[in-house]
Amino acid sequence: MLDELDRTILEILIDDARISLKELSQKVGLSSPSVSERLRRLEEKKVIRAFTVDIDPVALGYSLTAIVRVRPLPGMLHIVEKLIKETPEITECDKVTGDDCFIGKLQFRTMEQLDTILDRLAEKAETNTSIVKASPVKRRLPPLS
Amino acid sequence: MLDELDRTILEILIDDARISLKELSQKVGLSSPSVSERLRRLEEKKVIRAFTVDIDPVALGYSLTAIVRVRPLPGMLHIVEKLIKETPEITECDKVTGDDCFIGKLQFRTMEQLDTILDRLAEKAETNTSIVKASPVKRRLPPLS
DNA sequence: CCTTTCGCCTATTTAATACAGGTTAACCAG
DNA sequence: CTGGTTAACCTGTATTAAATAGGCGAAAGG
């Protein structure tokens, strides 16, 4: 389905999606139209979900991050899920197995803001919050091989 | 530091970083060179950290995701951190306050692979693993206002 | 063994970006 | 109040990049 050249293309694009077709095609050893066609198919097959920008939350004032584990109170599951979706400061969230039901990432500017958001959740769920001190692993892709 | 137009530009780019300057400038109501200059400065100031692609792990065979909480055994903190960094299947990881020391996201293909990775961690830390069933929140940005 | 398909190439057209030059509005100092 | 300076924007043009058309050759299937 995906050959070695496709993987090379993906790895290059993860680092820099604005590379020109010319330069990209030189790196992978194909002509521009060939690489263009491969890109088209990678998008068509949804291997590439989107071209996007990586924005620094700190530059937007969000200097703090927390991981929040959420256990909805009985009967509150759907309401809690809705609340999470409607809280834009929760920038990622997964529904998981185990005692916790949701594990999310929360971006915020001040402790007061964190308090407000957690208070709102606390009406409908038990929560457990860990403040992020550092991120030893930058977002990356698992091995493509 | 960042005005309304900059925020509009960022929001558009998050959705589609391959939009042409022409189209982008029409949407924000400026000329192409003006938007180009704004982009240049947003990159210069590292508000835009990178242009990148969002790749579907499932398309690469990684159909399973887990959240792993890691508590290194006494004296094992640095060794565990090194191990995490060297495990490419751990695609995100934060160092946090609280009982857990690290909370990471693990992409894997089979339960056997999960078992192998957790076994390796278990020599140096206590771990607590939650399998991701769904992701109600797609990666997004907190409010820019 | 012939035909079809697929991936690739080169050459060319079309489109996007980068650049140059000029205008206006805001701000500060004389 | 006024001249100078800066900053952000504009239009028009040059340059560069991407998309497309057309053709070649290898591999797969009838």
High-pLDDT (> 90) share of chain A, %: 94
Give B133's contacts in chain A (Cβ within 8 Å): 94-97
CB contact under 8 A, B10 and A53: yes
Identify the pLDDT of residue B144: 79
Beta partners for A137? B93
Q: DSSP code of B115?
A: H
Establish whether the CB of B69 is closer than 7 Å to any nucleic acid atom in strand D. no
CB atoms inside a 10 Å sphere around CB B29: 10
pLDDT class for A56, splitting at 50, 70, 90?
very high
Separation of alpha carbons A117 and A126, rounded Å:
13
Query: Would you say residue B29 has pLDDT above 80?
Result: yes
* Residue extents of the structural domains in chain B: 4-44, 57-131
How confident is the model over B14-25, as pLDDT tens digits?
A: 999 999 999 999
Query: Would you say residue B141 has pLDDT above 90?
Result: no
Query: Would you say residue A31 has pLDDT above 90?
Result: yes
Separation of alpha carbons B79 and B84, rounded Å:
9
Does the domain at residues B4-44 carry the CATH identifier 1.10.10.10?
yes
Name the average pLDDT for chain A: 96
Q: Does B82 touch chain A (CB under 8 A)?
A: no
Q: What is the CATH number of domain B57-131?
A: 3.30.70.920
Q: Does B59 touch chain A (CB under 8 A)?
A: yes
Separation of alpha carbons A111 and A113, rounded Å:
5
- How many Å lie between the alpha carbon of B46 and the closest alpha carbon of chain A? 7
The answer to whether B13 and B42 are in contact (CB under 8 A) is: no
Q: Does B79 touch chain A (CB under 8 A)?
A: no
Identify the pLDDT of residue B119: 98
Could you say which residues from 31 to 50 on chain A have a Cβ atom under 8 Å away from some Cβ of chain B?
45-50
pLDDT class for B136, splitting at 50, 70, 90?
very high
Separation of alpha carbons A87 and A132, rounded Å:
19
